[in-house]
């Protein structure tokens, strides 16, 4: 398969699904965000985690080093992001979550899946789970001004991740009916996340695209640099390395916008960052993928 | 024992996922059936059809045979239902669609997939396309009292089947971007359909079962009988036989209730028929699978 065909096989599904959501919303049809959130995050994502890890064989060591690398990715992203915001003289609560948390779910997971198969998806889920924990604790705390742990414990994805770790560690396998059920339910997550991403993009009210543009370029560059160096530092190679670099260079997560709306932290600015970074990803993502797939 | 375990493995996902929908419906949490239905009918199911048919390289003659034999079953069912409804002095236009058209999508497709794998899913889809098209065409025509092609032409199933058959006839693989896109969007359809089925079952209010219940039992019993008869007559074996029997014996489709409600033709009694036949079918599912999975192949 030519590189172009290979790239379009990875990129097209993402943009087509998002386009469906975008036009769905633009044609005036409803997309109840609560329904989508419950279906995706309470039901489907936990099932996707369990189904993937009951199928894919990964060594605990490989997962541990990728997991550690993603924790460092978040921390360094936060620290360097804070430094940059100080230089730009911008307030932390509004901008820091957007600089730190990337679209590792709705965009990162399908990219990992289509570029590196189910093994790629499994590694992508590690980065995703750690980022989700970060989003729900630190991200919410930054925006709200207080930490909440009980919210985290209510997330079924956390329990699914613990179950997955247990399965990998002990080598236990799920009974067929359970893996069948979770595999089926897990199929909702990726397409529905992408459709709702498109629908969100369709309804955002944005402001100051110029500032969003420069912040986004800085964020993507920072992510790439961190992903690349952390992969070296933790001795990652092959799929884990590629997944870390890809996930580190994902655009600004939509959840940042949700938090900004809830806690009234300049949502239009964050929305602009989400839109601009997603548009830039349409160009930067194929370039990074091309570099990785040709042995970069 | 191993047969029982196998059957439990097949039906457990169906019960768990429909159960989630049922609990959702009962909890009173909002569930926008229009949105989920729109996504499923317009995007997810067409993608599932395209993806399954092109990925599997089904033998086109098997695919056509399943559709053809199932059309005979629908024809026989229409004649028998009309006679029965006349004898019971019921409104044929209102009740006939509900006694003829079964839940070949929501319930039939996951069963075909889990009982007979991807090959079963492909043959199940062939039957589902016939059933859904006929349900839109005849269902609306009977209930509204005039022949209406509009719903059938609007439904994307037929066009997608044609596109998939085009690839199969030309013996060309669809490009990877198209295959990946349809695969991933198609993956939503079965779980979302089952959740929506559960929600509908929880929400449909049934005032009295009475004669609707008898008609529901007729739907299941006649379906099973005609499935067995036709598979014996055409000497079907293995997956083809199993899929035909399963699909013929599915409970009445939720779509019948939606059409009845839209045209206000005895929606309460149709709801009773749908809910009654679905619950009886769920209870007798292990036996049905035993019948469908035994025998040659």
Mutate to test the interface with B, among A1, A13, A15, A199 (most CBs of B within 10 A): A13
CA dihedral (A113, A114, A118, A121) in degrees, to 10, reads: -10
pLDDT at B147: 75
Q: What confidence tens digit (pLDDT) does each residue in B183-240 have?
A: 999 999 999 999 998 998 898 877 666 778 889 999 999 999 999 999 999 999 899 9
Whole-angstrom Cα distance, residue B213 to residue B275? 9
Whole-angstrom Cα distance, residue B81 to residue B89? 12
Q: Is B149 helix (H, G, I), strand (E, B) or coil?
A: coil
A8–B177: do the CB atoms touch at under 8 Å?
yes
Q: What confidence tens digit (pLDDT) does each residue in A194-224 have?
A: 999 999 888 887 777 888 898 999 999 999 9
Of B20, B30, B190, the CB nearest to A35: B30
Are A272 and A243 in contact by the 8 Å Cβ rule? The answer is no
B47: left (phi over 0), alpha (psi -120 to 50) or beta: alpha
Residues of chain B falling short of pLDDT 70:
1, 57, 207-209, 295-297
Domain boundaries defined on chain A: 24-293
Whole-angstrom Cα distance, residue A270 to residue B11? 46
From chain A, the residues in CB contact with B185 under 8 A are 13, 17, 20, 191
| B175 shares contact with chain A (CB less than 8 Å) | yes
Q: Is A9 helix (H, G, I), strand (E, B) or coil?
A: helix
From chain B, the residues in CB contact with A177 under 8 A are 8-9, 12-13
Closest CA of chain B from A31, distance in Å? 6
CA B49, B120, B70: angle at the middle one, nearest 5?
80
Name the A residues in 72-91 with CB < 8 Å from any B CB: none
Mutate to test the interface with A, among B34, B46, B112, B180 (most CBs of A within 10 A): B180
How many Cα neighbours within 13 Å face the side chain of A244? Answer: 29
Are A218 and A69 in contact by the 8 Å Cβ rule? The answer is no
- Which secondary-structure segment (H or E) carries B236? none
Q: Which residue of A has its CA nearest to B183?
A: A13
Strands (E), chain B: none
- The CATH class for the domain spanning B33-189+208-293 reads mainly alpha
Whole-angstrom Cα distance, residue B222 to residue B217? 8
pTM, entire model: 0.90
- Which secondary-structure segment (H or E) carries B248? helix B238-248
pLDDT at B138: 85
pLDDT at A97: 86
Are A16 and A190 in contact by the 8 Å Cβ rule? The answer is no
Residues of chain A falling short of pLDDT 50:
none
- The CATH class for the domain spanning A24-293 reads mainly alpha
B13–A175: do the CB atoms touch at under 8 Å?
no
> Which two structure tokens, joined as six digits, stand for B42?
């317009």
pLDDT at B296: 45
C-beta neighbour count of B48 within 10 angstroms: 27
Of A8, A32, A176, the CB nearest to B30: A32
C-beta neighbour count of B47 within 10 angstroms: 23
> Which two structure tokens, joined as six digits, stand for B143?
């209930």
From chain B, the residues in CB contact with A17 under 8 A are 181, 184-185
Count A/B contacts: CB-CB distance under 8 Å.
94
| Per-residue CA distances from B91 to A217, B96, B102 (Å) | 68, 8, 19
């Amino acid at each position: 398969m030519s590189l172009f065909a290979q790239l379009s096989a990875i990129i097209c599904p993402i943009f087509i699904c998002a386009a469906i959501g975008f036009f769905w919303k633009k044609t005036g049809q409803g997309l109840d965000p609560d329904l989508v959130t419950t279906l995706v995050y309470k039901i489907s994502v936990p099932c996707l985690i369990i189904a993937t890890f009951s199928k894919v064989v990964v060594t605990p060591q490989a997962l541990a080093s990728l997991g550690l690398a993603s924790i460092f990715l978040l921390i360094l992203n936060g620290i360097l992001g804070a430094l940059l915001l100080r230089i730009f003289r911008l307030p932390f609560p509004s901008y820091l979550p957007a600089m730190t948390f990337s679209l590792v779910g709705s965009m990162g997971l399908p990219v990992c899946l289509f570029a590196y198969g189910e093994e790629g998806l499994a590694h992508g889920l590690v980065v995703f789970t750690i980022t989700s924990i970060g989003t729900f604790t630190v991200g919410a705390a930054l925006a709200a001004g207080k930490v909440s742990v009980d919210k985290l414990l209510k997330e079924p994805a956390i329990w699914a991740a613990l179950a997955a770790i247990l399965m990998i560690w002990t080598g236990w396998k799920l009974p067929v009916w359970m893996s069948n059920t979770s595999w089926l339910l897990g199929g909702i997550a990726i397409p529905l996340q992408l459709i709702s991403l498109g629908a969100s993009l369709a309804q955002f009210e944005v402001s100051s695209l110029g500032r969003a543009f420069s912040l986004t370029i800085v964020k993507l560059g920072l992510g790439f640099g961190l992903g690349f160096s952390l992969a070296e530092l933790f001795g990652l190679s092959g799929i884990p390395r590629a997944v870390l670099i890809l996930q580190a260079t994902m655009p600004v997560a939509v959840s940042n916008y949700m938090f900004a709306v809830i806690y009234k932290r300049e949502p239009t600015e964050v929305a602009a960052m989400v839109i601009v970074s997603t548009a830039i990803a349409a160009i930067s993502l194929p370039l990074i993928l091309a570099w990785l797939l040709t042995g970069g | 024992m191993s047969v029982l375990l196998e059957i439990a493995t097949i039906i457990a996902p169906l019960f768990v996922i429909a159960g989630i929908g049922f609990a959702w419906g009962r909890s009173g949490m909002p569930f926008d059936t229009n949105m989920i239905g729109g996504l499923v009918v317009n995007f997810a199911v067409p993608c599932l059809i395209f993806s399954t048919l092109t990925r599997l390289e089904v033998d086109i003659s098997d695919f056509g045979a399943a559709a053809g034999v199932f059309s005979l079953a629908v024809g026989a069912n229409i004649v028998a239902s009309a006679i029965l409804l006349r004898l019971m002095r019921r409104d044929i236009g209102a009740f006939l669609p509900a006694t003829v058209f079964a839940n070949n999508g929501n319930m039939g497709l996951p069963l075909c997939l889990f009982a007979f794998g991807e090959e079963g899913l492909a043959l199940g889809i062939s039957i589902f396309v016939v059933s859904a098209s006929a349900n839109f065409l005849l269902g609306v025509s009977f209930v509204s009292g005039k022949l209406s092609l509009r719903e059938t032409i609007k439904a994307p199933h037929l066009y997608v089947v044609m596109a998939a058959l085009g690839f199969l006839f030309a013996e060309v693989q669809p490009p990877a971007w198209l295959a990946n896109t349809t695969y991933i969007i198609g993956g939503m359809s079965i779980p979302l359909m089952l959740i929506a089925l559960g929600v509908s079952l929880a929400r449909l209010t049934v005032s009295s079962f009475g004669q609707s219940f008898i008609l529901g039992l007729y739907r299941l019993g006649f379906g099973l009988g005609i499935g067995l008869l036709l598979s014996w007559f055409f000497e079907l074996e293995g997956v083809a036989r199993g899929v035909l029997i399963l699909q013929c014996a599915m409970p009445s489709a939720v779509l019948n209730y939606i059409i009845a409600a839209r045209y206000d033709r005895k929606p309460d009694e149709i709801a009773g028929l749908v809910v009654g036949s679905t619950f009886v079918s769920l209870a007798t599912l292990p036996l049905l699978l035993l019948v469908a999975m035994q025998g040659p192949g």
